[in-house]
């Protein structure tokens, strides 16, 4: 399935995520941002004080699913992901972020 980036009738979703494991100090945020931009998604990513990485993804459902798989299984080359949790998934009518940012 190629076609338009925002296929008609393919709704937008927003989902929060938190990734546990060896995910800080391994360029995880930079790689997540790169992957999100490649997929045309918006949102954010940040390190937490308890050693995880968290954020929010928004975009077409199929693309969001792709990034969820990436967060679950791949991550940055040096990372070791033990768990990726997703929450607060909801349909949205418009994107709430302009791009995908790394928050401090």
Please say if 47 is a catalytic residue: yes
Please say if 80 is a catalytic residue: no
C-alpha angle 96-33-29 in degrees, rounded to nearest 5: 115
Task: Considering the candidates 38, 47, 63, 80, report the single residue annotated as catalytic.
Answer: 47
| Residues carrying an active site annotation | 29, 47
């Amino acid at each position: 399935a190629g076609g338009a980036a925002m296929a008609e009738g393919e709704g937008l979703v927003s989902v929060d995520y938190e990734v546990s494991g060896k995910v800080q100090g391994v360029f995880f945020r930079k790689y997540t941002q790169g992957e999100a931009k490649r997929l045309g998604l918006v949102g954010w990513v940040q390190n937490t004080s308890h050693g995880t990485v968290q954020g929010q993804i928004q975009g077409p459902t199929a693309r969001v699913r792709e990034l969820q798989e990436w967060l679950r299984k791949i991550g940055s080359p040096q990372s070791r992901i033990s768990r990726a949790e997703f929450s607060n998934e909801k349909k949205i009518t418009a994107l709430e972020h302009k791009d995908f940012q790394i928050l401090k």
